[in-house]
Amino acid sequence: MPVPGSTVRGQDWYARDLTGDEVERVEFIDVDMTEATTTSVTFTECTFRNVRFNVSVHTDSAFVNCTFVSCSFFDATFSRCKLSGSSFSACSFDILKVDGGNWAFTDLGGADLSGTTFNVVRLREADLTGAKLSARSSRPATSPARRSTAPT
């Protein structure tokens, strides 16, 4: 994995399988992460510029205080991931799927999220100012104390 403070530019990480890695303060520029998978990987204070996350799958991973600029998340899946404090600018999210996880304090202002699905995701104090949403694009997280015990 890249060392802290380094830059990864123009590399092909297509279908790369990352498991258990920790990446800090790395700048990824023009990197193809199409069909990459991450499992229990932590990215901290990383910057992603023009990175393609298309059809990638992320499970139990974290992108903490990361910056995403002009990235593509076409058909990407995030399951039980933490993106707290991360910001997204000029990114595309066509058919992005997010299932569980913590996206608190993320900046998604102005993002077109109309084709996305957020299912039971924590979005506490997330900035959605000017974001384009659809009524079917999200289901709020439910805290255990508020969960209904009535049979369905």
Residues of the chain with pLDDT below 50 are 142-152
The CATH homologous superfamily to which domain 7-133 belongs is E3 ubiquitin-protein ligase SopA (2.160.20.80)
* pTM of the predicted structure, to 2 decimals: 0.88
* Beta strands per DSSP E along the chain: 7-9, 17-19, 22-24, 27-29, 37-39, 42-44, 47-49, 57-59, 62-64, 67-69, 77-82, 87-89, 97-102, 117-121, 138-140
pLDDT value for 140: 53
Q: Are 137 and 114 in contact (CB under 8 A)?
A: yes
For 45-80, write each residue's pLDDT tens digit: 999 999 999 999 999 999 999 999 999 999 999 999
Q: Which amino acid is at 8?
A: V
Domain borders along the chain are 7-133
Task: Give the integer Cα–Cα distance in Å for 64 and 25.
Answer: 10
Residue partners of 119: CB distance under 8 A and separation at least 6: 97, 98, 99, 100, 138, 139
